[in-house]
């Protein structure tokens, strides 16, 4: 192995460099931008400076993560992160094809992306579990047993039968009012028609009388 290959291998096996690369990846995920090359160079120059920089960057990353979790309107992601050790196996997708150890495990970026992309599904699953818990507490365990709920006749009467009867009564009253209004409208229209016919007859009679008077009027 040449000197260049040895130095490259030592650089790849450097735990501080590996930790720094992981921190840069987390900074990209949470902060939205990678660290500058100058900052990266400064953090790898000396061991003391590296330790201080890594500690500060870890503190900033934790603050970013806390801000993200606290600004969410729901607690599903927060609980998922708090129980990460328990939920961590869920982030490893089953692969039927034989793969090596390096390719069978998800990277940190892929795991973070899976958590944030699965947020709607996690929230929906949490909601479904709460509904199942409520139904379980009420005794509705198993399919087809909702009809066996402890519904009394008074509850059915007050929640279904009584409102339905009131709605039916209101509809019948409205139908009667509409029928009465239509009948009154027809009566008014007929009365107006008869009045106009009478006026026409009166005007025709007056015109005829005037015509007769003009005929019999003596000439001067």
Name the range with the highest mean pLDDT among 85-89, 95-99, 105-109, 163-167: 163-167
| Domain presence at residue 46 | yes
| Domain presence at residue 127 | no
Residue 49: both structure tokens together: 């400076």
The verdict on 196 and 218 lying in the same domain is yes
Q: What are the residues whose beta carbons fall under 8 Å from the beta carbon of 93, sequence distance 6 or more? A: 106
Digit-coded pLDDT (tens) for 65-89: 777 777 756 567 777 777 777 777 7
| Domain presence at residue 114 | yes
CA distance 106 to 100: 12
| Domain presence at residue 99 | no
The verdict on 47 and 88 lying in the same domain is no
| Domain presence at residue 172 | yes
| Domain presence at residue 124 | no
The verdict on 19 and 50 lying in the same domain is yes
Under a CB-based contact definition with an 8 Å cutoff, are residues 30 and 64 in contact? yes
53 alpha carbon, distance to own chain's centre = 41
| Domain presence at residue 220 | yes
Least confidently predicted of 28-42, 128-142, 159-173: 28-42
The verdict on 87 and 36 lying in the same domain is no
Digit-coded pLDDT (tens) for 15-59: 777 777 777 777 776 665 444 444 444 444 444 445 557 788 888
Domain of 187 in residue numbering reads as 162-220
Helices marked H in 83-218: 84-87, 101-104, 108-117, 119-137, 153-156, 162-216
3-class state of residue 150 by DSSP: coil
Domain count, the chain: 3
Looking at per-residue pLDDT, the higher value among 134 and 73 belongs to 134
């Amino acid at each position: 192995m040449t000197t260049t290959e040895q130095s490259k291998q030592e650089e790849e096996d450097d735990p501080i460099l590996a930790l720094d690369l992981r921190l840069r990846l987390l900074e990209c995920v949470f902060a939205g931008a990678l660290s500058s090359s100058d900052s990266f160079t400064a953090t790898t120059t000396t061991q003391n400076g590296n330790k201080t920089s890594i500690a500060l960057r870890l503190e900033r990353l934790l603050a970013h993560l806390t801000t993200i979790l606290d600004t969410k309107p729901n607690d599903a992601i927060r609980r998922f992160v708090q129980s990460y050790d328990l939920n961590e196996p869920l982030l490893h997708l089953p692969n039927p094809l034989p793969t090596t150890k390096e390719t069978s495990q998800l990277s940190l970026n892929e795991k973070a992306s899976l958590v944030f992309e699965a947020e709607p599904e996690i929230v929906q699953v949490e909601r479904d579990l709460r509904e199942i818990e409520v139904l379980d507490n009420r005794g509705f365990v198993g399919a087809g047993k909702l009809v066996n709920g402890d519904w009394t006749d008074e509850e059915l009467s007050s929640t279904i039968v009584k409102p339905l009867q009131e709605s039916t009564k209101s509809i019948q009253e409205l139908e009667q009012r509409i029928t009465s209004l239509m009948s009154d409208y027809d009566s008014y229209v007929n009365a107006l028609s008869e009045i106009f016919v009478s006026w026409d007859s009166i005007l025709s009679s007056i015109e005829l009388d005037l015509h007769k008077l003009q005929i019999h009027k003596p000439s001067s």
